[in-house]
Amino acid sequence: MKRNNLYVGFRIFRAKYIIVDCGGGTVDFACHELVEGGCRETHHAIGGPWGSTYLDEGFIKLLRDLFSVEAIENMQREYTSSWMDLMDEWERRKVLMDDYVRVRRVQFPHALTRA
């Protein structure tokens, strides 16, 4: 343990970091700083309505724009299993998003053409 280099074990004193909690409805941020004996909050946690459920709403709006509101509502009612498959496919693609892949493919179920 070398206090003159600010190291104690694996900690670096005065190091600052941000915790980001990406939930379903919100994304929350908290800022902390490592101090002797633990950590302290440097800024109170803040957040906003930027969670993944808002991406889902945008995806459904896109589907309604592409196929019509009636077609999507009919698919949700009459082809529930296919609707769930589509939303599961969307969820898998959504969680795998990164900066390196520019094209995302979501396979539409055949039931959508019948809806």
Residue numbers in the chain where pLDDT is lower than 70: 1-13, 97-102, 115
Backbone angles phi and psi of 29, in degrees to 5: -125, 140
pLDDT at 87: 94
Length of the chain: 115
CB 43 within 8 A of CB 31: yes
pLDDT at 59: 92
Q: Show the CA angle centred on residue 85, arms to residues 73 and 78, nearest 5°.
A: 35
pLDDT at 82: 93
Q: What is the per-residue pLDDT across 45-61, written as a single tens digit (0 to 9) for each?
A: 788 777 888 889 999 99
pLDDT at 99: 62
The amino acid present at 67, given as its one-letter code, is F
64 three-class SS: helix
Residue 19 to residues 29, 34, 44, 55, 102, Cα–Cα distance (Å): 6, 13, 11, 21, 27
pTM confidence score: 0.62
